[in-house]
Amino acid sequence: MASPSQLLLQRFSRHRMAFASATLLVILVVLTAMAPLFERVLAVSSSEVDLFNRFAAPNIRNLLGTDELGRDLLLRLLYGGQISLFVGITAALIASTMGTAIGLLAGYVGGRLDGFLMRLTDGVIALPLLPLLIVLAALDLSKLGLPDTLVNSENVSFYRIILIVSLAGWTTTARLVRASTLSLREQDFVLAARAQGCSDLRIMMRHILPNLTSPVIVATSLSVGNIILLESVLSFLGLGIQPPTPSWGNLLTNAQELIWESPELAFYPGILIFLTVIAFNFVGDGLQDALNPRTGKHVSSTT
Protein backbone atom coordinates (compact mmCIF):
# COMPACT_ATOMS: atom_id res chain seq x y z
CA MET A 1 0.00 0.00 0.00
CA ALA A 2 1.38 3.41 -1.02
CA SER A 3 2.21 5.93 1.69
CA PRO A 4 0.47 9.35 1.78
CA SER A 5 3.58 11.04 0.38
CA GLN A 6 3.74 8.56 -2.49
CA LEU A 7 0.06 9.12 -3.27
CA LEU A 8 0.65 12.87 -3.20
CA LEU A 9 3.57 12.53 -5.62
CA GLN A 10 1.51 10.34 -7.94
CA ARG A 11 -1.34 12.83 -8.04
CA PHE A 12 1.05 15.73 -8.53
CA SER A 13 2.91 13.97 -11.37
CA ARG A 14 -0.39 13.54 -13.25
CA HIS A 15 -0.57 17.33 -13.53
CA ARG A 16 1.86 17.55 -16.44
CA MET A 17 2.40 21.31 -16.47
CA ALA A 18 2.91 21.38 -12.69
CA PHE A 19 5.41 18.52 -12.84
CA ALA A 20 7.30 20.17 -15.72
CA SER A 21 7.28 23.48 -13.85
CA ALA A 22 8.60 21.86 -10.68
CA THR A 23 11.40 20.27 -12.73
CA LEU A 24 12.25 23.66 -14.23
CA LEU A 25 12.37 25.29 -10.80
CA VAL A 26 14.64 22.57 -9.45
CA ILE A 27 16.99 23.11 -12.40
CA LEU A 28 16.99 26.88 -11.81
CA VAL A 29 17.71 26.47 -8.10
CA VAL A 30 20.55 24.03 -8.78
CA LEU A 31 22.10 26.25 -11.45
CA THR A 32 21.93 29.39 -9.31
CA ALA A 33 23.40 27.51 -6.35
CA MET A 34 26.28 26.39 -8.59
CA ALA A 35 27.16 29.97 -9.62
CA PRO A 36 30.44 30.01 -7.60
CA LEU A 37 31.42 26.70 -9.21
CA PHE A 38 30.80 28.10 -12.71
CA GLU A 39 32.85 31.14 -11.72
CA ARG A 40 35.83 28.98 -10.80
CA VAL A 41 35.54 26.56 -13.72
CA LEU A 42 35.20 29.32 -16.34
CA ALA A 43 37.86 31.45 -14.62
CA VAL A 44 35.77 34.60 -14.92
CA SER A 45 34.28 37.02 -12.41
CA SER A 46 30.69 38.17 -12.19
CA SER A 47 31.68 41.61 -10.89
CA GLU A 48 35.02 42.35 -12.58
CA VAL A 49 34.73 45.19 -15.11
CA ASP A 50 36.50 44.71 -18.44
CA LEU A 51 35.76 47.65 -20.75
CA PHE A 52 37.81 46.05 -23.53
CA ASN A 53 35.39 43.12 -23.58
CA ARG A 54 32.05 44.97 -23.70
CA PHE A 55 29.12 43.31 -25.50
CA ALA A 56 31.22 40.27 -26.34
CA ALA A 57 29.48 37.51 -28.29
CA PRO A 58 29.01 34.11 -26.62
CA ASN A 59 32.26 32.17 -26.50
CA ILE A 60 33.89 29.35 -24.56
CA ARG A 61 34.82 31.64 -21.67
CA ASN A 62 31.68 33.78 -21.66
CA LEU A 63 28.91 31.34 -22.52
CA LEU A 64 26.24 34.04 -22.92
CA GLY A 65 28.59 36.91 -23.74
CA THR A 66 29.21 40.00 -21.63
CA ASP A 67 27.25 43.10 -20.64
CA GLU A 68 27.89 46.82 -21.11
CA LEU A 69 30.75 46.74 -18.58
CA GLY A 70 32.36 43.54 -19.85
CA ARG A 71 31.01 41.38 -17.01
CA ASP A 72 30.03 37.79 -17.71
CA LEU A 73 26.30 37.72 -18.42
CA LEU A 74 25.72 34.07 -17.42
CA LEU A 75 27.22 34.58 -13.97
CA ARG A 76 25.28 37.82 -13.49
CA LEU A 77 22.07 35.96 -14.30
CA LEU A 78 22.93 33.11 -11.92
CA TYR A 79 23.83 35.39 -9.03
CA GLY A 80 20.78 37.53 -9.80
CA GLY A 81 18.68 34.37 -9.68
CA GLN A 82 20.03 33.60 -6.22
CA ILE A 83 18.77 36.97 -4.99
CA SER A 84 15.41 36.92 -6.77
CA LEU A 85 14.58 33.34 -5.79
CA PHE A 86 15.74 33.83 -2.20
CA VAL A 87 13.71 37.03 -1.83
CA GLY A 88 10.63 35.35 -3.31
CA ILE A 89 10.81 32.20 -1.19
CA THR A 90 11.85 33.93 2.04
CA ALA A 91 9.25 36.69 1.78
CA ALA A 92 6.55 34.12 0.89
CA LEU A 93 7.42 32.04 3.96
CA ILE A 94 7.38 35.08 6.26
CA ALA A 95 4.11 36.34 4.79
CA SER A 96 2.53 32.88 5.07
CA THR A 97 3.62 32.59 8.70
CA MET A 98 2.09 35.97 9.50
CA GLY A 99 -1.08 35.17 7.57
CA THR A 100 -1.43 31.76 9.21
CA ALA A 101 -1.08 33.21 12.71
CA ILE A 102 -3.57 36.01 12.05
CA GLY A 103 -6.07 33.76 10.28
CA LEU A 104 -5.83 31.06 12.95
CA LEU A 105 -6.47 33.52 15.78
CA ALA A 106 -9.30 35.22 13.94
CA GLY A 107 -11.03 31.98 12.99
CA TYR A 108 -10.65 30.20 16.32
CA VAL A 109 -11.22 33.03 18.80
CA GLY A 110 -13.86 34.85 16.75
CA GLY A 111 -15.83 37.76 18.17
CA ARG A 112 -14.24 41.18 18.38
CA LEU A 113 -10.75 39.86 17.69
CA ASP A 114 -11.98 38.27 14.47
CA GLY A 115 -13.71 41.49 13.47
CA PHE A 116 -10.62 43.60 14.18
CA LEU A 117 -8.18 41.29 12.37
CA MET A 118 -10.42 40.91 9.32
CA ARG A 119 -11.00 44.67 9.06
CA LEU A 120 -7.22 45.08 9.28
CA THR A 121 -6.85 42.52 6.51
CA ASP A 122 -9.48 44.27 4.39
CA GLY A 123 -7.69 47.58 4.93
CA VAL A 124 -4.37 46.19 3.71
CA ILE A 125 -6.07 44.59 0.71
CA ALA A 126 -7.78 47.91 -0.14
CA LEU A 127 -4.46 49.78 -0.28
CA PRO A 128 -2.99 50.26 -3.79
CA LEU A 129 -0.19 47.72 -3.59
CA LEU A 130 2.41 48.99 -6.04
CA PRO A 131 2.27 52.68 -4.99
CA LEU A 132 2.44 51.56 -1.34
CA LEU A 133 5.50 49.41 -2.01
CA ILE A 134 7.15 52.24 -3.93
CA VAL A 135 6.62 54.66 -1.03
CA LEU A 136 7.92 52.19 1.55
CA ALA A 137 10.93 51.31 -0.62
CA ALA A 138 11.78 54.99 -1.09
CA LEU A 139 11.84 55.81 2.64
CA ASP A 140 15.14 57.22 3.90
CA LEU A 141 16.21 54.73 6.56
CA SER A 142 18.63 57.20 8.12
CA LYS A 143 15.64 59.33 9.22
CA LEU A 144 13.93 56.42 10.97
CA GLY A 145 16.44 56.23 13.80
CA LEU A 146 18.03 52.99 12.61
CA PRO A 147 21.71 52.25 13.39
CA ASP A 148 24.22 53.62 10.87
CA THR A 149 25.76 50.17 10.49
CA LEU A 150 22.44 48.86 9.18
CA VAL A 151 21.63 51.90 7.04
CA ASN A 152 25.05 51.78 5.33
CA SER A 153 25.11 48.01 4.96
CA GLU A 154 25.49 46.62 1.43
CA ASN A 155 22.58 44.26 2.08
CA VAL A 156 20.14 46.82 3.50
CA SER A 157 18.11 46.94 0.26
CA PHE A 158 17.96 43.15 0.35
CA TYR A 159 16.56 43.06 3.90
CA ARG A 160 14.20 45.96 3.25
CA ILE A 161 12.62 44.43 0.15
CA ILE A 162 11.94 41.16 1.99
CA LEU A 163 10.33 43.04 4.91
CA ILE A 164 8.24 45.31 2.69
CA VAL A 165 6.89 42.55 0.48
CA SER A 166 6.20 40.32 3.51
CA LEU A 167 4.17 43.05 5.22
CA ALA A 168 2.00 43.41 2.14
CA GLY A 169 1.66 39.75 1.18
CA TRP A 170 0.06 38.02 4.18
CA THR A 171 -3.58 38.90 3.52
CA THR A 172 -4.50 36.07 1.14
CA THR A 173 -3.15 33.42 3.50
CA ALA A 174 -4.91 35.04 6.47
CA ARG A 175 -8.33 34.96 4.82
CA LEU A 176 -7.82 31.40 3.58
CA VAL A 177 -6.67 30.13 6.98
CA ARG A 178 -9.51 31.90 8.78
CA ALA A 179 -12.10 30.27 6.52
CA SER A 180 -10.59 26.82 7.09
CA THR A 181 -10.32 27.39 10.85
CA LEU A 182 -13.97 28.38 11.10
CA SER A 183 -14.86 25.00 9.62
CA LEU A 184 -12.33 22.96 11.59
CA ARG A 185 -13.19 24.37 15.03
CA GLU A 186 -16.66 22.80 14.77
CA GLN A 187 -15.35 19.34 13.88
CA ASP A 188 -15.81 16.45 16.29
CA PHE A 189 -12.10 16.00 17.04
CA VAL A 190 -11.85 19.64 18.18
CA LEU A 191 -14.97 19.32 20.32
CA ALA A 192 -13.55 16.13 21.85
CA ALA A 193 -10.23 17.82 22.64
CA ARG A 194 -12.08 20.71 24.26
CA ALA A 195 -14.19 18.27 26.32
CA GLN A 196 -11.00 16.61 27.58
CA GLY A 197 -9.80 19.93 28.96
CA CYS A 198 -7.22 20.85 26.32
CA SER A 199 -6.28 24.52 26.33
CA ASP A 200 -7.14 26.75 23.40
CA LEU A 201 -3.46 27.08 22.50
CA ARG A 202 -2.99 23.31 22.44
CA ILE A 203 -6.12 22.84 20.32
CA MET A 204 -4.94 25.44 17.82
CA MET A 205 -1.37 24.12 17.60
CA ARG A 206 -1.96 20.36 17.84
CA HIS A 207 -5.38 19.84 16.27
CA ILE A 208 -6.23 22.70 13.94
CA LEU A 209 -2.88 23.91 12.60
CA PRO A 210 -1.79 20.50 11.17
CA ASN A 211 -5.06 20.40 9.19
CA LEU A 212 -4.25 23.79 7.67
CA THR A 213 -1.06 22.52 6.04
CA SER A 214 -2.58 21.93 2.61
CA PRO A 215 -4.13 25.38 2.03
CA VAL A 216 -1.06 27.11 3.50
CA ILE A 217 1.32 25.21 1.20
CA VAL A 218 -0.79 26.05 -1.83
CA ALA A 219 -1.08 29.73 -0.87
CA THR A 220 2.67 29.97 -0.23
CA SER A 221 3.65 28.37 -3.54
CA LEU A 222 1.27 30.65 -5.45
CA SER A 223 2.58 33.77 -3.68
CA VAL A 224 6.26 33.10 -4.48
CA GLY A 225 5.77 33.96 -8.13
CA ASN A 226 3.90 37.17 -7.30
CA ILE A 227 6.59 38.23 -4.83
CA ILE A 228 9.37 37.61 -7.37
CA LEU A 229 7.42 39.77 -9.80
CA LEU A 230 7.01 42.54 -7.22
CA GLU A 231 10.72 42.43 -6.36
CA SER A 232 11.56 42.62 -10.06
CA VAL A 233 9.26 45.62 -10.54
CA LEU A 234 10.75 47.50 -7.58
CA SER A 235 14.30 46.67 -8.67
CA PHE A 236 13.44 47.76 -12.22
CA LEU A 237 12.27 51.10 -10.80
CA GLY A 238 15.52 51.43 -8.86
CA LEU A 239 13.86 50.93 -5.46
CA GLY A 240 14.62 47.27 -4.85
CA ILE A 241 17.92 45.40 -4.81
CA GLN A 242 20.64 47.95 -5.43
CA PRO A 243 23.72 47.46 -7.65
CA PRO A 244 26.34 46.10 -7.58
CA THR A 245 24.26 43.23 -6.12
CA PRO A 246 22.54 41.71 -9.16
CA SER A 247 18.92 40.66 -9.36
CA TRP A 248 16.81 39.89 -12.38
CA GLY A 249 14.93 43.15 -11.86
CA ASN A 250 17.93 45.49 -11.78
CA LEU A 251 19.53 43.59 -14.66
CA LEU A 252 16.47 44.67 -16.67
CA THR A 253 16.96 48.24 -15.45
CA ASN A 254 20.53 48.32 -16.70
CA ALA A 255 19.46 46.86 -20.05
CA GLN A 256 16.56 49.20 -20.86
CA GLU A 257 18.80 51.84 -22.46
CA LEU A 258 20.64 49.20 -24.48
CA ILE A 259 17.60 47.35 -25.83
CA TRP A 260 18.43 48.15 -29.45
CA GLU A 261 22.19 47.79 -29.15
CA SER A 262 22.19 44.55 -27.16
CA PRO A 263 18.66 43.11 -26.77
CA GLU A 264 19.87 39.90 -25.10
CA LEU A 265 20.71 41.89 -21.97
CA ALA A 266 16.98 42.47 -21.49
CA PHE A 267 15.78 39.19 -22.99
CA TYR A 268 17.56 36.79 -20.62
CA PRO A 269 16.45 38.27 -17.26
CA GLY A 270 12.99 38.98 -18.69
CA ILE A 271 12.43 35.40 -19.85
CA LEU A 272 13.78 34.03 -16.56
CA ILE A 273 11.32 36.16 -14.56
CA PHE A 274 8.48 35.10 -16.86
CA LEU A 275 9.28 31.38 -16.69
CA THR A 276 9.81 31.42 -12.91
CA VAL A 277 6.55 33.22 -12.15
CA ILE A 278 4.57 30.96 -14.50
CA ALA A 279 6.28 27.86 -13.07
CA PHE A 280 5.40 28.74 -9.47
CA ASN A 281 1.78 29.35 -10.49
CA PHE A 282 1.58 25.95 -12.20
CA VAL A 283 3.19 24.27 -9.19
CA GLY A 284 0.63 25.92 -6.93
CA ASP A 285 -2.20 24.65 -9.13
CA GLY A 286 -0.69 21.16 -9.14
CA LEU A 287 -0.32 21.12 -5.36
CA GLN A 288 -3.89 22.29 -4.93
CA ASP A 289 -5.13 19.40 -7.06
CA ALA A 290 -2.77 16.86 -5.50
CA LEU A 291 -3.69 17.82 -1.94
CA ASN A 292 -7.40 17.49 -2.76
CA PRO A 293 -7.96 13.84 -3.76
CA ARG A 294 -11.52 14.60 -4.89
CA THR A 295 -10.17 16.67 -7.79
CA GLY A 296 -7.17 14.50 -8.62
CA LYS A 297 -8.89 12.22 -11.11
CA HIS A 298 -10.55 15.12 -12.90
CA VAL A 299 -7.26 16.95 -13.29
CA SER A 300 -5.38 13.90 -14.54
CA SER A 301 -7.91 13.43 -17.30
CA THR A 302 -7.79 17.05 -18.49
CA THR A 303 -4.10 17.93 -18.34
Q: What is the pLDDT of residues 178-203, one digit of tens each?
A: 999 998 888 888 889 888 888 888 88
Which of the four pLDDT bands, split at 50, 70 and 90, describes residue 294? low
With H, G, I as helix, E, B as strand and everything else as coil, classify residue 157.
helix
Q: Quick check: 296 pLDDT over 70?
A: no
Asked, for residue 71, whether it belongs to a domain, the answer is yes
Q: What is the pLDDT of residues 34-88, one digit of tens each?
A: 999 988 888 888 888 888 888 888 888 888 888 888 888 999 999 999 988 998 8
Which of the four pLDDT bands, split at 50, 70 and 90, describes residue 302? very low
pTM for the model stands at 0.84
Q: Quick check: 303 pLDDT over 50?
A: no
Provide the pLDDT for residue 297: 46
Please say whether the beta carbons of 171 and 121 come within 8 A: yes
Provide the pLDDT for residue 272: 92
The total domain count for the chain is: 1
297 vs 147, residue with greater confidence = 147
Asked, for residue 285, whether it belongs to a domain, the answer is no
CA distance 255 to 298: 44
Asked, for residue 252, whether it belongs to a domain, the answer is yes
Asked, for residue 51, whether it belongs to a domain, the answer is no
Q: What is the pLDDT of residues 136-164, one digit of tens each?
A: 777 777 776 777 776 677 677 778 888 88
Asked, for residue 96, whether it belongs to a domain, the answer is yes
Closest CA to 114 of 211, 181, 204, 203: 181
Q: What is the pLDDT of residues 235-268, one digit of tens each?
A: 877 777 777 788 888 888 878 888 888 888 889 9
Asked, for residue 50, whether it belongs to a domain, the answer is no
Provide the pLDDT for residue 301: 36
Distances in whole angstroms, Cα of residue 199 to Cα of each of 186, 203, 206, 209, 211: 16, 6, 10, 14, 18
The whole domain housing 97 covers 4-45+59-279+290-302
Q: Residues 22-27: contacts with CB within 8 Å, 24+ apart?
A: 22/279, 22/283, 22/286, 24/275, 24/279, 25/276, 25/279, 25/280, 25/283
